A and B are shown apart, each in its own frame.
Chain A
Amino acid sequence: MNRKYSVRKIKEKLGLLLFRAAIVISGIFLVMFAVMIILRGGSVFIKTCAVNEIADNYRLRNVIIKNGVIIDNKKYDLSINGKIIKGLLKKGMASDIEIKDDIINEMKILNLQADRIENSYARINTGKSAIDTGNPELLKNIQFCIIEGAAAELVEASEYIMSGGVEITKIKTNLVFTGGFLENISIKNGIIRKMKLVKPLRRFSLHFIFASPEAGMTAGGIFPALIGTFYLTIMAMLLAFPIGVLAAIYLNEYAWPPRAVQIIRTAINTLAGVPSIVYGLFGMAVFVNFLAFQVSILSGALTLAVLVLPIIINASEEALKTVPREMREASLGLGATKRQMIMTVVLPAALPNILTGAIIAVGRAAGETAPILFTAAAFYFPGLPESIFSPCMALPYQIYALMTEGTARVQTSIAYGASIVLLLLVLAINSSAIILRGIIRKKRQW
Chain B
Amino acid sequence: MVDQSPKIEPVITVNSGLVIKRGENMQTLPIGHLTAAVHTENLCLWFGDNQVLHDVCLSVAEKKVTAMIGPSGCGKSTMLRCFNRMNDLIENTKITGSIKVYGSDIFSRNLDLCDLRARIGMVFQKPNPFPKTIFENVAYGLRIKGINDRRQLNEKVEICLRRAWIWDEVKDRLHHSGLSLSGGQQQRLCVARALATDPEILLLDEPTSALDPQSTAKIEELLFELKNQVTVLIVTHNIGQAGRVSDFTAFLYLGRLVEFGTTEKIFTTPEQPETERYLEGKFG
Asked if A329 and B144 sit within 8 Å, CB to CB, the answer is: no
In-complex Cβ contact of B117 among A258, A325, A332 (8 A)? A332
Interface residues of A in 392-445 (CB under 8 A from B): 443-445
Chain B CB within 8 A of A340 CB:
yes
Among A62-70, A110-118, A160-168, A344-352, the stretch that binds chain B is: A344-352
Chain A CB within 8 A of B238 CB:
no
Given A335-B145, A340-B144, A330 and B129 touching (CB < 8 A)?
yes
Query: What residues of chain A lie closer than 8 Å to B197, measured between beta carbons?
Result: 334-335
Nearest-neighbor residue (CB-CB) of A333 within chain B: B122
Distance between Cα atoms of A444 and B137 in the complex (Å): 12
Chain A CB within 8 A of B114 CB:
yes
Query: What residues of chain A lie closer than 8 Å to B143, measured between beta carbons?
Result: 344
Asked if B86 and A333 sit within 8 Å, CB to CB, the answer is: yes
Max chain A C-beta neighbours (<10 A), residue from B13, B180, B190: B13
Interface residues of B in 135-151 (CB under 8 A from A): 140-141, 143-145
Query: What residues of chain B lie closer than 8 Å to A19, measured between beta carbons?
Result: none
In-complex Cβ contact of A334 among B7, B89, B144 (8 A)? B144
Asked if B118 and A335 sit within 8 Å, CB to CB, the answer is: yes
Distance between Cα atoms of A331 and B118 in the complex (Å): 10
Max chain A C-beta neighbours (<10 A), residue from B132, B143, B179: B132
Chain B CB within 8 A of A33 CB:
no
Chain B CB within 8 A of A84 CB:
no
Distance between Cα atoms of A446 and B86 in the complex (Å): 23
Smallest beta-carbon distance A308→chain B, Å: 27
Smallest beta-carbon distance B233→chain A, Å: 14
Interface residues of A in 292-340 (CB under 8 A from B): 324-338, 340
Chain B CB within 8 A of A204 CB:
no
Query: What residues of chain A lie closer than 8 Å to B84, measured between beta carbons?
Result: 333
Asked if B130 and A256 sit within 8 Å, CB to CB, the answer is: no
Asked if A444 and B89 sit within 8 Å, CB to CB, the answer is: no
Asked if A329 and B131 sit within 8 Å, CB to CB, the answer is: no
Nearest-neighbor residue (CB-CB) of A325 within chain B: B89
Query: What residues of chain A lie closer than 8 Å to B144, measured between beta carbons?
Result: 331, 334-337, 340, 344
In-complex Cβ contact of B128 among A256, A330, A336, A443 (8 A)? A330
Asked if A332 and B7 sit within 8 Å, CB to CB, the answer is: no
Asked if A446 and B179 sit within 8 Å, CB to CB, the answer is: yes
Distance between Cα atoms of A348 and B13 in the complex (Å): 21
Interface residues of A in 347-392 (CB under 8 A from B): 348-349
Distance between Cα atoms of A333 and B203 in the complex (Å): 10
Query: What residues of chain B lie closer than 8 Å to A327, measured between beta carbons?
Result: 128, 130-131
Chain B CB within 8 A of A254 CB:
yes
Query: What residues of chain A lie closer than 8 Å to B115, measured between beta carbons?
Result: 335
Asked if B130 and A335 sit within 8 Å, CB to CB, the answer is: no
Given A333-B84, A334-B140, A335-B141, A445 and B180 touching (CB < 8 A)?
yes
Asked if B117 and A338 sit within 8 Å, CB to CB, the answer is: no
Smallest beta-carbon distance B176→chain A, Å: 8
Interface residues of B in 21-38 (CB under 8 A from A): none
